Amino acid sequence: MPELMNDKLQVVVAEKGAELQSIVRKDLQQEYLWHAGPEWAKKSPVLFPIVGTLKNNTYTYKGKSYTLGRHGFARDKVFTLTEQTADKLVFTLTESEDSLQVYPFHFRFQVVYAIHDTSLQVSYIVENTGKDTMYFSVGAHPAFKVPLTEGTSYEDYYLHFNEEENDGVWPLSADGLIELTPEPFLVKTHKLALKHHLFYKDALVFKTLASTIMELKSDKSPRGLKMQYEGFPYMGIWAAKDANFVCIEPWNGIADSVNATGDITGKEGIHILDAGKRFERSWTVTLF
């Protein structure tokens, strides 16, 4: 598999889904990414051209109905490695006959991985190569190991927000749709203690977090990470039931609400990209 390496980091990425497979701090002999165990078979899927679930797995565009599964199709497609240097990998996906059956837009979607010192930057670049206005969402879903070091437990770790948070969490229905009313959750705090039961009802979904930096830390271990994600209005935090990882998911887009109409042009969180235009967002994880 393609990989990036410097004196401190080694990053491996699969061409299928342009999905991260490993993030190792070589100097610490520390792996930071989930190993894709039986609890969840993915490691860091890329979410495109939708984030989350559509109502009835369906949307309409120009009077026609289309079916798309949760998080879209990019995570299951084989990308083309179009650029590789010592510190950067560029993976590219374009429309195909198959994709046009479920998503009638012409596009160039690139996932760029770049390393510098102890940081990995992941960029999503979307270009509208068609003649019509394009509607899309894009998001991240990396799963980080918890606990990171022997002798510590899942409950020894927490997420630290760079801003004081006072935000509710949006419950998900049994079908993965956003309910209409948030529930109180973060109350004047910088901290969310990790506990397995937090995720027994699916992801924690936030629409209005103030923070653009989140750290995974423990008072019992020096190992952790810092994620910076400016420009992503939505955030999901998730783990499979009783699994030893946490996903920190910056999103440009969100699942349908329980009362969604299905019209993609009016979907909450959808991005509108005119013909010939380009969209780019990046998140960075620094490992310590």
The tens digit of pLDDT for each residue in 225-284 reads: 999 999 999 999 999 999 999 999 999 999 999 999 999 999 999 999 999 999 999 999
CB neighbour burial string for 13-37, b if at least 16 within 10 angstroms, e if fewer: bbeebbbbbbbbbeebeeebbbeee
Task: Please tell me the pTM assigned to this model.
Answer: 0.97
Report d(CA 8, CA 255) in Å as an integer: 37
**Any idea which architecture 3-287 has in CATH?**
Distorted Sandwich (2.70)
The tens digit of pLDDT for each residue in 147-189 reads: 999 999 999 999 999 999 999 999 999 999 999 999 999 999 9
The tens digit of pLDDT for each residue in 73-121 reads: 999 999 999 999 999 999 999 999 999 999 999 999 999 999 999 999 9
Hey, what long-range contacts does 35-42 have (CB within 8 A, 24 or more apart)?
35/145, 37/243, 39/240, 39/241, 39/242, 39/243, 40/143, 40/240, 40/243, 40/245, 42/75, 42/141, 42/143
Residue 105 main-chain phi, psi, to 5 deg:
-130, 145
Look at residue 70 in the predicted model and tell me its pLDDT: 97
In sequence order, the β-bridge partners of residue 10 are 5, 24
Q: What strands, in cross-sheet order, belong to the sheet with 80-84?
A: 80-84, 88-94, 107-116, 119-128, 278-287, 221-228, 213-218, 157-165, 189-193
Portion of the chain with pLDDT greater than 70, in percent = 100
Look at residue 84 in the predicted model and tell me its pLDDT: 97
Look at residue 154 in the predicted model and tell me its pLDDT: 98
Q: 191 pLDDT band (50/70/90 cuts)? A: very high
So where are the chain's domains? Answer: 3-287
Look at residue 249 in the predicted model and tell me its pLDDT: 98
